[in-house]
Amino acid sequence: MQYFLWIQDQSQGPFELSQIVGKLSSGEVTVDTPCAEAGAEDWKTVGAYAQTQPTKAGAYSSRRTIVVPSLANEPVQDTTPVPTQKKISPLILWGFIAFVVLIAAAAAWFFAFR
C-alpha cells in the first residue's frame, strides 16, 4: 500500500509505510502530518496509521517503539529518552553507614579520654 503526505502545502509521494516510518523517526513529519492512501479522497493524519506503544521493558525503559499496524514486524526505535528511576548502590549505602559509625566512634573516644 502506498501513501501520499501533505508537506509544505503540496502533496508528496507516493511513499511506502516503511518510508513514512523513517520520516516520522527522523522528524521530517509528525503524527499530525496529513496522509492519504493512494487513490483515496479523504486525508487522515500519519498518527491514524501509526500508533506509539511503550516497549515491553516497562515504564523505565530508555526508548519507545513506534509500531505501524501493517509493519508490525519492523518496529522503529524512537530516540526520545524516557525518564529513568535512579537507585543507590547497596555498596555505597553501606560504605556511607560505616563512615558515619566510624566518625561517631572516633568522636566518642576523643571526648571520653580527653
**pLDDT band for position 102 (cuts 50, 70, 90):** very high
Q: What would the pLDDT profile of 38-76 be if each residue is shown by its tens digit?
A: 887 788 888 776 654 344 444 444 445 555 555 445 555
Residue 103 inside a domain? The answer is no
Q: Per-residue pLDDT for 106 more than 50?
A: yes
Residue 100 pLDDT > 90: yes
111: in domain: no
Q: Please count the CA atoms within 13 angstroms of the CA of 45 that sit on its side-chain side.
A: 9
Indicate if the pLDDT at residue 98 is higher than 70.
Answer: yes
Instruction: Answer whether residue 92 is part of any domain.
Output: no
- Answer yes or no: is 43 within a domain: yes
Residue 20, in any domain of the structure: yes
Domains of the chain: total? 1
In a domain, 109, yes or no: no
Residue 60 lies in a domain: yes
Q: State the average pLDDT for the chain.
A: 74
Q: What is residue 62's predicted lDDT score, i.e. its pLDDT?
A: 45
Of all residues in the chain, the percent with pLDDT exceeding 90 is 12
What range does the domain containing 48 cover?
A: 2-78
